[in-house]
């Protein structure tokens, strides 16, 4: 199983969407560090390199990172169907559940790699602004970007690491959902579209206040609200496992 997982991971990082995604995640912080309109749009003057890291996270989590994760998870199955290699794998005495679980583990690791690359890009892009103590905030803690006084590098790093880990957890059910649709449609495009459409539809359900605390979309900004992590993380985990279980059930009886 470990060798299968390693191979799935290798294949995942050979996907075009993953290569492009990692490139964008790395370059995005440089774009933000150089953006001339930050003050006009966000009322922000960069006071520290740490703020470049958080700005990239906030901007990326708006749409880009969820979309990249959904695309990667969809392509991990869809590309194998398109090039015919899925059939070759399943002609071997290999259980479909094992194969899908190996793929799932690989796509669940991807959000953390993506966010790690963004973090690294942010640190490099933020170097000219300095990574020492500064007056202000990371935008992720108390006082937003204005902060509440002097912020030490250790505290800034801790806030950013926590936010990136929470953001990674937020992206897990999206990867799982895309893999579920991948099992249903066996197509990259259909799976990605269905996953994005599901999230958009779920967002509309805010009109039903009784459902809101249980909706996946309620917790897509969990990295900004670490105080909600208790229920949020539990629900994200339930969604991730639920989508994964459905994906396995569908894939087990899917005609190829």
Site membership for other proteins, residue 6 (CB under 8 A): no
Q: How many CB atoms lie within 10 A of CB 94?
A: 12
- Of 16, 19, 63, 88, the residue at the interface with other proteins (CB under 8 A) is 88
- Of 37, 93, 149, 209, the residue at the interface with other proteins (CB under 8 A) is 93
- Of 20, 39, 95, 201, the residue at the interface with other proteins (CB under 8 A) is 95
93 or 230, CB closer to other proteins?
Answer: 93
Distance in angstroms (rounded) separating the CA atoms of residues 11 and 48: 38
Encoding tokens for residue 90? 């399943």
Q: How many CB atoms lie within 10 A of CB 59?
A: 18
Site membership for other proteins, residue 129 (CB under 8 A): no
Site membership for other proteins, residue 1 (CB under 8 A): no
Smallest CA-to-CA distance from 103 within 139, 77, 69 is with 77
Footprint of other proteins on residues 22-81 (CB under 8 A)?
none
Per-residue b/e over 1-36, b at no fewer than 16 CB within 10 Å? Answer: eeebbeebbebbeebebbeebbebbbebbbebbebe
- Of 146, 200, 234, 256, the residue at the interface with other proteins (CB under 8 A) is 256
17 or 51, CB closer to other proteins?
Answer: 17
Which residues in this chain contact other proteins in the complex, by CB under 8 A? 3, 7, 11, 14, 83-85, 87-96, 253, 255-256
């Amino acid at each position: 199983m470990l060798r299968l997982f390693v191979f799935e991971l290798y294949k995942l990082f050979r996907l075009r969407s993953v290569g492009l995604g990692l490139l964008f995640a790395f370059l995005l912080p440089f774009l933000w560090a150089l953006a001339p309109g930050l003050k006009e749009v966000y009322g922000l003057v960069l006071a520290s390199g740490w703020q470049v890291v958080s700005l990239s996270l906030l901007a990326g989590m708006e749409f880009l990172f969820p979309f990249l994760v959904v695309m990667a998870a969809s392509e991990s199955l869809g590309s194998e169907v398109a090039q015919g290699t899925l059939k070759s794998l399943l002609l071997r005495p290999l259980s479909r559940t094992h194969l899908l679980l190996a793929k799932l583990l690989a796509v669940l690791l991807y959000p953390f790699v993506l966010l790690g690359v963004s973090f690294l890009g942010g640190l490099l892009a933020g170097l000219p602004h300095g990574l020492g103590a500064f007056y202000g905030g990371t935008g992720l803690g108390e006082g937003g970007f204005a902060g509440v006084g002097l912020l030490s590098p250790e505290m800034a790093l801790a806030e950013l690491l926590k936010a990136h880990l929470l953001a990674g957890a937020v992206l897990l059910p999206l990867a799982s959902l895309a893999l579920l649709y991948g099992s249903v449609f066996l197509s990259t495009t259909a799976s990605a579209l269905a996953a994005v459409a599901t999230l958009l539809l779920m967002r509309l359900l805010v009109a039903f206040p009784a459902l809101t605390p249980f909706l996946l979309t309620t917790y897509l900004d969990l990295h900004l609200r670490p105080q909600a992590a208790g229920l949020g993380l539990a629900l994200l985990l339930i969604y991730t496992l639920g989508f994964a279980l459905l994906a396995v059930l569908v894939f087990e009886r899917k005609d190829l």
